[in-house]
Structure 1
Amino acid sequence: MNYVDKINHVLKPATSGSPVVVDLFAGCGGLSLGFEAQGFETHGFEMDADSCATYRKNLKGNCTQVVLTTKTELPAAPVLIGGPPCQPFSVGGKQKGLKDSRDGFPIFISAVERLRPEIWLFENVRGLLYRNKWYLDEITQSLQELGYVIEVKLLNAVDFGVPQNRERIIVVGHKGYFSFPKLLERKISAGEALGELAFQAPPESKFLTPSMDEYVAKYEKASFCKRPRDLHLDKAARTLTCRNLAGATGDMHRVKLPDGRRRRLLLREAARLQSFPDWFEFVGTQTSCLNQVGNAVPPLFAFHLAGVVRNYLRSSKRLSPSDIVSNSLPLQLSLPF
């Protein structure tokens, strides 16, 4: 099965009375879609109206539009997932960590404490493992004290069939024996994902002007780029973000057409590279939709994560409280080398 057929057929909501998954900071539902495709029921919580509307339009689960707090009422669920925002750990900030009111992690930790799920996981940027490792330690210590074995791993979506290099840390809390999903051998290129779309120039195309080409050239020279940062169809795309999809910046994603013209990435192309199925419809303005794509967890990546969560729930092997303590100290940090 080729890539396009796979995302269009495998990534379909297939809930069947399976365990409920609560998804905090759910965005447009990329993480939840992967879980629904594995048979879970989902309930998302998200503050952005367009993202909630997109979630409801495409998934079977409900999405509650709400500004989450540590006291937001949540349904009981054996699985808790999410992608908490984490602005406070910027080096230039005051680095208050969990005491910063802008931080989404106290909300996630509070949800774990109140729901006591069998297993939980969150996804976040790779920077938490490096210059902001102090903050990750603070978060995991708080969660570990709630009686969970904590495991951390840096994963790249490209290793799970997504045609995009997108490194993210996945942090999992459980009380038994958990294994991260196995990496796939075959990588999917941007060309395989986009097919003929990459050679077309539909009416909605936004072409780079000569002044934009000049600006991009200066940006790439200043950034010491060895080759232009156009989309290279023979390899996986670089990471998609709100900034390089919706903004006219020097590192914007763009396609170079056979006639030499360059245009910005179209919404459907961005969605393909993020592994959203073609049937998935986004709600909102063009900018809003591109931001939803850039913020999302790739559904195909989420599908593999959901598979190992399902396997964990089906297993009856659980650790005693004393075994959890011995397994939790020191923190089980797993990085690729």
Structure 2
Amino acid sequence: MEFVEKINIELKPWIDNRLHTTVLDLFAGCGGLSLGFEAHGFRTIAYEMDEYAAETYNRNLLGKCVQETLTVDSVYPKADIVIGGPPCQPFSVGGKQLGLQDARDGFPIFLAAVKQLEPEVVLFENVRGMLYKNKWYLHEVVNALEKFGYYIRYSLLNAVDYEVPQNRERVIVIGAKQKINLPKKANKRIAAGQALGELALQHDDSSKFLTESMDQYVAKYEKASKCVTPRDLHLNKPARTLTCRNLAGSTGDMHRIRLQDGRRRRLTVREAARLQSFPDWFEFAGNETQQFNQIGNAVAPYFAYHLARQVKKYLLGNAENSSSLRDARQLNLFAHETIYQSRTVKNI
């Protein structure tokens, strides 16, 4: 099965009626993490402050995303699993190293939700810096969760090891009332060319080509950063990490494709979405910059799919491989097909 066909099918939301659980997704963005869970049959409800990200979530997922700015006093509906990507200011460049006492930090909100709901499973992701220079803060959060009674496992995982065509390192923390493990790496890596297919060679009047001055700017950037290999998108291997900055901004580090005639153009929204493993039927709200920002901030959905599978195994044992589960999934996919049948590939 080709990569795009695979994610278009496997990442379709459905309801597994054996799962009497609800997933609460905090700081949900456009729904990349929730999509991985809904693709395994989980019911979700989410909270996100950004208007366009919340609209994107509601366009594509079965669960509802509430547009709201969360606080430690927020009250949530009952949920058995709490997930999310809390924003973390205490160890940013402008942070003051205040840890859980920093009012700008999302982790006190995440921990308050866990304390309020006492879910069976908790899971969050964050940038790689949380495991290195700022490991002290990771320990604060983990210690708080352990005091709530959770067995915690965490590690730096790369989405490229979970069938995402992009090098994207993230700290993943998972906890449960009983021992739970992080997912094992997949045996297959996906190249950017496998994800983009014919899109990589296409261009039209709307394509954004690099000008001569931009080419010169990029050359100076790569020389200054001692870049040996040009940072164009190489179709024979996974992409570099996608960020809001290198997707939406005209920077020296911007993502771009070199065409056969030597010209270089910037990625389209759909191409960026594919490199993040979003299915082609997934529609983004907002203007181009807002869509790029949603993609750059998202948890790669197929990475989330592997994380959700591990949670499901914890809840259901090894039923993931049983024929009864496959039959249940097919019935639910058929039932929800009308939601997606009108959606076609949109090369934005």
Given the two structures, how large is their TM-score scaled by the length of structure 2? 0.89
Q: Distance in 2 between matches of 1:281 and 1:202?
A: 21
Cα-to-partner distance string for 1:188-234 (whole Å, 9 max, x where unaligned): 00011101100011332111111111111111111111110000000
Q: Distance in 1 between matches of 2:93 and 2:59?
A: 38
Aligned equivalent of 2:269 = 267
Amino acid at match of 1:40: F
1:3 aligns with 2:9: no
Contact 2:151 2:179 in 1 (8 A): no
Q: Distance in 2 between matches of 1:42 and 1:114?
A: 18
Q: Secondary structure at the match of 1:152?
A: strand
Aligned equivalent of 1:102 = 104
1:130 aligns with 2:132: yes
Q: Distance in 2 between matches of 1:93 and 1:124?
A: 16
Report the Cα offset of residue 97 of structure 1: 1.1
1:180 aligns with 2:166: no
Amino acid at match of 1:154: L
Aligned equivalent of 2:304 = 302
Q: Secondary structure at the match of 1:23?
A: strand
Report the Cα offset of residue 2 of structure 1: 1.2
Amino acid at match of 1:219: Y
Aligned equivalent of 2:281 = 279
Report the Cα offset of residue 134 of structure 1: 1.2
Question: Which residues of 2 match residues 33-52 of structure 1 at below 5 A?
Answer: 33-52=35-54
Aligned equivalent of 1:13 = 13
Question: Which residues of 2 match residues 1-337 of structure 1 at below 5 A?
Answer: 1-17=1-17, 18=19, 19-90=21-92, 92-315=94-317
Aligned equivalent of 2:337 = none
Q: Secondary structure at the match of 1:89?
A: coil
Q: Distance in 2 between matches of 1:309 and 1:236?
A: 27
Amino acid at match of 1:9: I
Contact 2:24 2:82 in 1 (8 A): yes
Q: Distance in 2 between matches of 1:76 and 1:44?
A: 12
Q: Distance in 1 between matches of 2:261 and 2:93?
A: 44
Q: Secondary structure at the match of 1:21?
A: strand
Counting matched residue pairs gives 316
Report the Cα offset of residue 139 of structure 1: 1.3
* Residue identity (%): 64
Report the Cα offset of residue 273 of structure 1: 0.2
Contact 2:153 2:182 in 1 (8 A): no
Q: Where in structure 1 do 4 or more consecutive aligned residues deviate above 3 Å?
A: none
Amino acid at match of 2:270: R
Amino acid at match of 1:70: V
Q: Distance in 2 between matches of 1:183 and 1:315?
A: 19
Amino acid at match of 2:309: G
Report the Cα offset of residue 16 of structure 1: 3.5
Aligned equivalent of 1:322 = none
Contact 2:191 2:236 in 1 (8 A): yes
Amino acid at match of 1:95: Q
Q: Secondary structure at the match of 2:274?
A: helix
Report the Cα offset of residue 125 of structure 1: 0.6
Amino acid at match of 1:132: N
Report the Cα offset of residue 187 of structure 1: 0.6
Cα-to-partner distance string for 1:56-108 (whole Å, 9 max, x where unaligned): 00000000000011111111111000000002212553111111111000000
Aligned equivalent of 2:338 = none
Q: Distance in 2 between matches of 1:16 and 1:151?
A: 26
Q: Distance in 1 between matches of 2:208 and 2:94?
A: 35
Contact 2:121 2:177 in 1 (8 A): yes
Give the aligned CA root-mean-square deviation in angstroms: 1.2
Q: Distance in 1 between matches of 2:139 and 2:276?
A: 29
Q: Distance in 2 between matches of 1:27 and 1:193?
A: 23
Cα-to-partner distance string for 1:35-54 (whole Å, 9 max, x where unaligned): 00000000010000000000
Q: Secondary structure at the match of 2:65?
A: strand
Q: Secondary structure at the match of 2:295?
A: helix
Cα-to-partner distance string for 1:224-278 (whole Å, 9 max, x where unaligned): 1111000000000010000000111110000000011101111000000000000
Contact 2:36 2:302 in 1 (8 A): yes
Q: Distance in 1 between matches of 2:132 and 2:257?
A: 32
